[in-house]
Amino acid sequence: MPDVKKLLKEKLTPQNYDRLITLDNPGMHDFVADAIKLCNPASVFVCTDLEADRAYIRELAIRTSEERPLNIPGHTCHFDGYNDQARDKAQTKYLLPPDSKLGASLNSIEKSAGVEEVRSFLKDSMVGREMLICFWCLGPIDSDFSIACIQITDSPYVAHSESILYRPGYEQFKKIGTSSGFFRFLHSEGELENFVSKNIDNRRVYIDLEGDLVYSVNTQYGGNTIGLKKLALRLAIQRGSKEGWLAEHMFVVGAHGPRGRVTYFTGAFPSACGKTSTSMLPGQTIVGDDIAYLRKKKGQVRCVNVEKGIFGIIRDVNTEDDPIIYEALTNPGEVIFSNVLIDENRKPHWLGMGSELPTEGTNHSGKWQKGKTDVDGNEITASHRNARYCLNIPDLSNCDPLIDDPNGVLVGGVIYGGRDSDTLVPVEQAFNWAEGIIIKGAALESETTAATLGKEGVRTFNLMSNLDFLSIPLGRYIRNNLDFANDIDNPPLIFSVNYFLKDKDGSYLNGMGDKKVWILWAELRVNGDVDAVKTPTGFIPKYEDLAKLFKDHLHTQYTQADFIQQFAIRIPENLAKLDRVEKIYRERVSDTPQILFDTFAEVRKRLKQAQDKHGDYISPFDLINR
C-alpha cells in the first residue's frame, strides 16, 4: 500500500477512511495526508453531504464552546478574539515563486520563506483536537460554474459557517474524478485562550496560486478563515483570468420591473457600503450578496452566486431598514451570530437594531458593561461594528427562484458603488461597456469602514471593489474586464451608484430607502423604457421618471430641488477624482492599459468643456436638450 493510503488508514477510523477513499482523487489524498502529518490532530472527521454530518459539526461547535446556544432554537453565537475582528490585509500574502511578478499593489512573500513560516505555525497545531475535512462546491452543483473545494480546519465554527454559506461538495468531488482542479484550504485556529486564537501576532493567511491552496493560521474571523469566501475568490480570479471568465466581489439581485419583468444586476461595492442591503431591496429577489462568477454563454453574460448564504454585517439591521433579515434573526432557524452582545437571557443585541441596548452582558471583550474601555482607553461598543450574522439565503422569503440554476442568470446590468460624500451623483449609466469598466469600475474609490483592520473614513482607491482580493496584476485585471464584452452584441449596461452623498453640513442627501429607486431606474434603462439626460460622465435620470418612481415605490414626493441638489454635476470634485486615480495608475500600476489613460483624458476634456459653459456645479436641468 502506498505511503499516503497507509498513513490515512492509520490515522482515520475505518468509516472515515472509507469516506475519503471513496473519492478517488490522489491529489486530494496527498493534501489530506500532508495536513495530518503537519498538524498532528487527535482524530479526523470526514464530512459528507449527509445532514447527520452537518449536525455533528454543529454539535461539536457547541461542545468545544466555539459557539454557544442562544435563546431561539437554531441560533448560536461565536466570538472572535478582541484583536481578530476583521480581515488582516497586512498578513494576507501571495506566496511568490522566483521570477513571477504580481505588481507592487499586491502583498506577497517569497514562496519558500513564506511556506516555511506558515507551516512552522501549523506544525502540531491540532494536537488534542479533531481535524474536520469538509467538501463544498463553489457555485451551483453540476454546472459549468462549479468548483469543487476541500476545507481542512480544526474550527467547527468555520466548518459550520461553511455548511450554511456553501453548497455541499462531497458528491461534486465524485464527479471531478481524479482531476486536480479543485481548491484546497488548510486552516488552524492555533493555540486557544478562552476559546479564541491566542497568538494573533502569528496570524497568517498565505496563498499559493500555483497549487490552488491557501493556508490560514492563528485566526478565527470568518474573512480570514472561511476558505471558500475571500480566499477562494483570489484563486478564482487567477483561474478566471486564464479561462476567460470573471470572479467578482459582487451581489446578484433580481430587480422587478413592470408587468412581472425580472432583470438581474450584479453589483460591486466595498464592504459595508450598502452591498447586502441592495441585494435585499424590498420587493426584489436576492440571488447573492457577496461573490459572483460571470461567464459568457451563447453570446450572453450569465452569472451565479458562488455562495448560498450570507455572512452579513449585523449593525443597523432593524425592522425598518432590513425587515426580512431582522425577521430571520429573531425567529427560529439556523443562524450564527458573531461578535454581538449577549444578555443574561442569551438574547443577542447589536448596534442599530432599533431597540435600547442592555448596559451589561458578554461580548467580544468578555464580560462587558457600558463604559468599558480597552487597553488604549477607547470605549468598547456593545457589539463590534463589524459583528456579523450567517444564514441561509433559501430561508429568506425574498430568495430568487433561480438561485441554484446551473446556467446562472442573465446579467442585464452591472453596478459599481462606493462610499463617497461629495463627488458622484446617486445613479448614472456609463456610455458604453469600456467607459463603464474604466470610469465606474477601475476608478472606484470609497471611504474605509470597519470591515478591515485600520482607520475608518479614509478615501481609498478600490477598483471594482475587488482590490483586496486581486491575484493578478491590476492592468491585466482591467484588460480582462474590458475584453470580456468583446464578442457580446449587447453587453450589460454599467452603472455607478452613490448612497452616501452629503450636504455642506455633513447630512446625508438621501434616505436609506432611496436606493430602490436608483435600481428600478436602472432596470427601466436596461429595458429601454425611459430616456435620460446626458452629462459629461454618462446618462442620469430625467426628473419626471424619478418623481414617478419615488411616488409609486416609496410613496414620497421627489421635488425638483431634491433632484437638483443630488444630481448636480460637481465638476471640480470629478476632476480631482480623475487626477487622484490617474496618479495611482501612473505611479503604481505599470501594466495599466493605455485605453484607461485615453478615456480619463476624454472624460476630463468633456468635464472641462461643460465647466467652461456652465460653471463648477451644473444643474441637470441645464443639460437637457443639448
Query: How many residues interact with ligand SPV (rule CB under 6 A)?
Result: 9
160 binds, among Mn ion, ligand SPV, none (CB under 5 to 8 A by kind): none
Exposure string (b/e) for 359-392, b if CB count within 10 Å is 16 or more? eebbbbbeebeeeeeeeeeeebbbbbbbbbbbbb
Neighbours of 179 (CB within 10 A): 12
> Where are the extended beta strands (E) located within 356-433?
360-363, 366-369, 388-392, 409-417, 427-429
222 binds, among ligand SPV, Mn ion, none (CB under 5 to 8 A by kind): ligand SPV
Nearer to Mn ion by Cβ, of 49 and 290: the residue is 290
Tell me which H or E stretch contains 612: helix 594-614
Using CB under 5 A as the binding rule, whether residue 290 contacts Mn ion is answered as yes
Nearer to Mn ion by Cβ, of 86 and 255: the residue is 86
Nearer to ligand SPV by Cβ, of 161 and 263: the residue is 161
**96 has which bridge partners?**
110
Neighbours of 332 (CB within 10 A): 10
Question: What's the distance, CA 417 to chain centroid?
Answer: 13
Q: Known catalytic residue: 273?
A: yes
Query: How many residues interact with Mn ion (rule CB under 5 A)?
Result: 1
Q: Which stretch binds Mn ion (CB under 5 A): 7-15, 131-139, 289-297, 590-598?
A: 289-297
Q: How far is the CB of 450 from ligand SPV (least distance, A)?
A: 9
State the residue number with the nearest CB to ligand SPV: 223
Residues of this chain, 439-458, that bind ligand SPV according to CB under 6 A: 451
Tell me which H or E stretch contains 167: strand 167-168
State the residue number with the nearest CB to Mn ion: 290
**215 has which bridge partners?**
186, 206
515 binds, among ligand SPV, Mn ion, none (CB under 5 to 8 A by kind): none
Rounded CA-CA distance 386/376 in Å is 19
Q: How far is the CB of 449 from ligand SPV (least distance, A)?
A: 8
Q: How far is the CB of 266 from ligand SPV (least distance, A)?
A: 15
Residues of this chain, 185-224, that bind ligand SPV according to CB under 6 A: 222-223
Using CB under 6 A as the binding rule, whether residue 166 contacts ligand SPV is answered as no
80 binds, among Mn ion, ligand SPV, none (CB under 5 to 8 A by kind): none
Nearer to ligand SPV by Cβ, of 25 and 216: the residue is 216
Using CB under 6 A as the binding rule, whether residue 183 contacts ligand SPV is answered as no
Which one is catalytic: 39, 273, 303, 390?
273
Q: How far is the CB of 603 from ligand SPV (least distance, A)?
A: 28
For cell 415605490, name the residue: 553
User: How many degrees, rounded to 5, is the angle at CA 436 between CA 484 and CA 268?
Assistant: 80
Record the cell numbers describing residue 61, joined without a space: 461547535
Neighbours of 229 (CB within 10 A): 24
Q: How far is the CB of 303 from Mn ion (least distance, A)?
A: 16
Identify the residue among 19, 58, 87, 167 touching ligand SPV (CB under 6 A): 87
Rounded CA-CA distance 415/393 in Å is 21
Record the cell numbers describing residue 551, joined without a space: 411616488
Name residues whose C-beta falls within 8 Å of residue 460's C-beta, 6 or more positions apart in sequence: 445, 446, 447, 448
Q: Is 113 exposed, middle or buried (0-12, 13-18, 19+ CB in 10 A)?
A: exposed
Q: 315 φ, ψ to 5°?
A: -55, 135
Identify the residue among 184, 229, 302, 525 touching ligand SPV (CB under 6 A): 229
For cell 460622465, name the residue: 537
Catalytic residue list:
273
Residues forming contacts to Mn ion in the complex (CB under 5 A) are 290
- Which residues make up the interface to ligand SPV (CB under 6 A)? 87, 222-223, 229-230, 271, 290, 311, 451
